[in-house]
Amino acid sequence: MEFETKIVRGMIQPDPTTGAIIPPIYQTATYVLEEVGKDKGFDYTRSANPTRQTMEEYLALIEGGKYGVAFSSGMSTVDSCLKLLKAGDHIVCSDDVYGGVSRHFDQLLTQYGLTFTYVDSQNPDNVSSAIQPNTKMIWIETPTNPLLKITDLKTVGDIAKKHDLLYCVDSTFATPVFLKPLDFGADLVIHSTTKYLSGHNQLIGGIVITNRVDLFESLKFIQKTVGAVPGPFDCWLTILGLKTLDLRMKKHNENGIQVAEYLESHPKVENVIYPGLASHPMHHIAKEQMSGYSGMISFELKGGLSSGKALMNHVKLCLLAESLGAVETMITHPATMTHVDVPREERLARGFSDGLVRLSVGIENVTDILNDLDQALNYL
């Protein structure tokens, strides 16, 4: 079966009792037992729920993995993966991860005895040299949020294997339509399902996918023990979103390329970061390991922060909002919105300026998006 068909169908069978084409929402907290010790595979929704299970299996299938474990947000997914470690362990992490991830690592998990070294993982040597005797995990985000840095997943996967480290990849920006980190040796692939996977700005959620039964069992244990689970209705909405994932991603990609090219040729634009442009320093790796580049673009205007603010305040179709990966085009000021908790010096050191603008290109008609940017750029 071709990948596009798998995405649409998810191997979901019509509901056996009614023939319903869409799986029902099992909006229930608990399940009645036939007798002591005899249930139908479900005993309490924190542990398992049929709608959630359908979504977990669906996501595992399209990621090309065996097991999926869902959580109530991308962040609780990240947290649950880090709960696989213990006090004293060290993690080597990409330096441009989503600001909520570094906030979680630096302001919460360090209190529980974990330590982190951030490196520019675009150069795999930086990853190797940061490994310590107590390193247990490599955490890669690719493309990163917001600088869209690209990590060579195969080379870093080999490093993880050589040192027997858990290899985790946050693939939220790429989605399984364009990138399959498990094929490059990842042990765990995570997504904020809030973004492209559910796709319509309708919920907050997360998923981790693995081929390893030991990790699956540990994550199931963490899921039922901590209870950061998505509700059945959110799982159902994700299932509906997934059915059009392939179609949406192709349109995000198509529009993304055109908007990136437009911005790159605009005289008021200083610099455009988009992995699909030949000017991206890691374009060759992106091209090799991804089959598309999604709709995420970061750029700086001549005139820096004040120009960036003027643009964001004058767009009409593009919505000034703190998220990404939905059908609507959204524009964000990372320094004051998504990455507000990343210390300024740290941001500047990694090339993330005050004036950086992040665009999540939606699936509207691309001419409308370009016209909107054009009229807003006229104010600068």
Please give the residue ranges that form the binding site for ligand PLP (CB under 6 A): 73-75, 98, 100-101, 141, 145, 170, 172, 192, 194, 204, 206
Closest CB to ligand PLP belongs to which residue? 74
CB 174 within 8 A of CB 143: yes
Question: Closest CB to ligand PLP among 172 and 307?
Answer: 172
Minimum distance of ligand PLP from residue 280's CB (angstroms): 18
Structure tokens at 76: 């609780």
Minimum distance of ligand PLP from residue 58's CB (angstroms): 18
Set 195, 251, 347, 358: catalytic member: 195
Question: Closest CB to ligand PLP among 100 and 124?
Answer: 100
Distances (CA, A) of 213 to 65, 143, 373: 11, 27, 48
Question: Closest CB to ligand PLP among 116 and 262?
Answer: 116
List the one residue out of 354, 191, 359 whose CA is nearest residue 262: 359
Residue ranges of E strands in the chain? 67-71, 90-94, 115-119, 135-141, 166-170, 188-192, 206-210, 269-273, 296-301, 319-320, 330-332, 357-360
Set 26, 58, 67, 98: catalytic member: 98
Is 98 considered catalytic here? Answer: yes
Minimum distance of ligand PLP from residue 203's CB (angstroms): 9
Question: Closest CB to ligand PLP among 140 and 366?
Answer: 140
* Neighbouring C-alpha atoms within 13 Å toward the C-beta of 206: 24
Is 106 considered catalytic here? Answer: no
Set 79, 89, 96, 170: catalytic member: 170
Rounded CA separation 132/283 (Å): 30
Minimum distance of ligand PLP from residue 207's CB (angstroms): 10
Is 67 considered catalytic here? Answer: no
Minimum distance of ligand PLP from residue 90's CB (angstroms): 21
Set 6, 31, 46, 154: catalytic member: 46
Question: Closest CB to ligand PLP among 194 and 298?
Answer: 194
3-state SS of 315-341 is: CCCCEECCCCCCCCCEEECCCCCCCCC
Is 120 considered catalytic here? Answer: no
CB 363 within 8 A of CB 327: yes
Cβ neighbours, 10 Å, residue 258? 15
User: What secondary structure letter does DSSP report for 109?
Assistant: G
Residue tagged 């309490």 (tokens): 44
CB 237 within 8 A of CB 202: yes
Minimum distance of ligand PLP from residue 197's CB (angstroms): 10
List the one residue out of 172, 115, 166 whose CA is nearest residue 146: 172
Question: Closest CB to ligand PLP among 33 and 320?
Answer: 320
Question: Closest CB to ligand PLP among 175 and 255?
Answer: 175
* Apex 55 CA angle, 49 and 61, nearest 5: 130
Distances (CA, A) of 99 to 96, 156, 220, 322, 337: 8, 22, 26, 12, 9
Minimum distance of ligand PLP from residue 274's CB (angstroms): 16
Catalytic residues: 46, 98, 170, 195
